[in-house]
C-alpha cells in the first residue's frame, strides 16, 4: 500500500504543478497539459492497483480518493479534443485545482481500514463502485462548467458541456443506486439498508440533482441562476458523499 500512496502522491503533485503552469503564457501551457496527462496515468494506476490488491473484497471508501483520477480522465479527453480554446484552458485550470484539492485531502484524511466484506460473485457491487465514481466526476465537472457560465463565459459550447456533464452524471448516479440496491437485495434480502448513512446521503444527493435537472430543463430562470445550483452541487457531493468517507488526519510523510 505504501507504493500506491507514492503513486497517488505523484498524481497529486502533477495536478498541482499543472494548475500552476496554466497561468503561464500560452506558449508554455503545453506543460500544464503534459502534467495533466501524467497525473491522469498515475491516478488511474492508483485506482486499478488498489482495486487489484483488495480483491476478492471491494475497495471501499474510494469515493473521495477515486473521483479525482476519473475527473482527470475527462479533463484529458477535453484537452485532446479542444486544444486551442480559451474556455477549455479555464476549464482545465479549475478542474486540475479540484483534482488537486480532492486528492490532497483524501491523502491527509485516509480511511483505508474497514471490516472485510464477504466475497461476492455478483457483478452489482463492481457496477455500483464504477458508476458511483463516474457519476461524482461528471457532476463535479458539470459544476466546473457552471462556474464558467457564472463568470460571463456564456457561449453555446460552455452551456452545452455543462448540460451534457449534468445529464451523464445523474445517469451514472442512478445506475449506481440501482446496482447497490440489487447487491443489497441479493446479499441481505432487502433492497436498501437505511442504517447506512452513505446510502441515505447518496439518495439525498440524487434527489437534489433530479430537482436541478427539472429546473434546468424548464428554462424559466436565467442561465446563471441554473448554473449556480449546478456549481453548488460540488459542495453537496463533497459534504454529503466525500467527507463521510474521510478518516483521521495522517501526515503524508512520517519522520
pLDDT digits (tens, 9 = 90+) for 172-187: 999 998 888 887 777 7
Asked if the model's pLDDT at residue 167 lies above 70, the reply is yes
Res. 37 pLDDT band, cuts 50 70 90 = very high
Mapping DSSP to helix (H, G, I), strand (E, B) and coil, where does residue 11 land? Answer: helix
Pair 109, 250: CB distance under 8 Å: yes
Among candidate residues 119, 92, 110, the one with its CA nearest the CA of residue 19: 92
Q: For CA atoms 195, 201, 204, 209, give the dihedral sign.
A: negative
pLDDT band of 42, cuts 50, 70, 90? very high
- What contacts 247, CB < 8 A, 6 or more positions away? 61, 109, 110, 111, 112, 113
Average confidence (pLDDT) over 140-151: 92
Please state, rounded to an integer, the average pLDDT across all residues of the chain.
Answer: 85
Name, of 12-16, 156-160, 175-179, the range with top average pLDDT: 12-16
- Residue 98 and residue 67: Cα distance in Å, rounded? 10
pLDDT at residue 60 is higher than 80: no
The pLDDT tens digits for 72-93 are 999 999 998 876 667 888 899 9
> In the block, which residue shows the cell 474556455?
87
Q: Are 149 and 162 contacting, i.e. CB atoms less than 8 angstroms apart?
A: yes
Sign of CA dihedral 77, 176, 145, 143: negative
pLDDT score at 1: 59
pLDDT reading at 112 higher than 70: no
Amino acid at each position: 500500500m505504501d507504493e500506491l500512496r507514492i503513486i497517488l502522491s505523484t498524481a497529486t503533485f502533477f495536478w498541482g504543478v499543472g494548475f500552476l503552469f496554466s497561468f503561464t503564457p500560452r506558449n508554455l501551457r503545453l506543460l500544464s497539459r503534459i502534467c495533466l496527462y501524467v497525473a491522469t496515468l498515475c491516478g488511474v494506476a492508483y485506482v486499478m492497483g488498489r482495486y487489484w490488491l483488495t480483491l476478492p473484497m471491494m475497495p471501499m471508501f474510494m469515493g473521495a480518493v477515486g473521483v479525482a483520477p476519473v475527473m482527470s480522465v475527462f479533463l484529458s479527453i477535453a484537452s485532446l479534443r479542444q486544444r486551442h480554446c480559451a474556455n477549455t484552458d479555464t476549464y482545465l485550470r479549475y478542474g486540475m485545482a479540484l483534482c488537486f484539492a480532492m486528492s490532497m485531502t483524501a491523502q491527509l484524511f485516509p480511511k483505508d481500514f474497514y471490516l472485510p466484506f464477504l466475497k461476492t460473485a455478483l457483478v452489482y457491487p463492481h457496477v455500483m463502485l464504477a458508476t458511483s465514481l463516474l457519476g461524482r466526476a461528471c457532476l463535479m465537472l458539470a459544476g466546473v462548467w457552471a462556474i464558467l457560465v457564472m463568470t460571463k463565459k456564456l457561449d453555446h459550447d460552455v452551456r452545452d458541456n455543462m448540460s451534457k456533464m449534468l445529464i451523464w452524471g445523474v445517469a451514472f448516479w442512478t445506475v449506481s443506486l440501482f446496482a447497490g440496491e440489487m447487491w443489497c437485495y441479493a446479499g441481505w434480502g432487502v433492497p436498501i439498508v437505511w442504517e447506512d448513512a452513505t446510502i441515505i446521503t447518496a439518495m439525498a444527493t440524487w434527489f437534489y440533482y433530479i430537482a436541478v435537472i427539472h429546473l434546468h430543463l424548464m428554462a424559466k430562470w436565467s442561465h446563471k441562476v441554473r448554473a449556480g445550483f449546478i456549481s453548488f452541487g460540488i459542495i453537496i457531493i463533497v459534504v454529503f458523499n466525500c467527507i463521510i468517507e474521510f478518516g483521521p488526519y495522517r501526515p503524508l510523510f512520517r519522520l
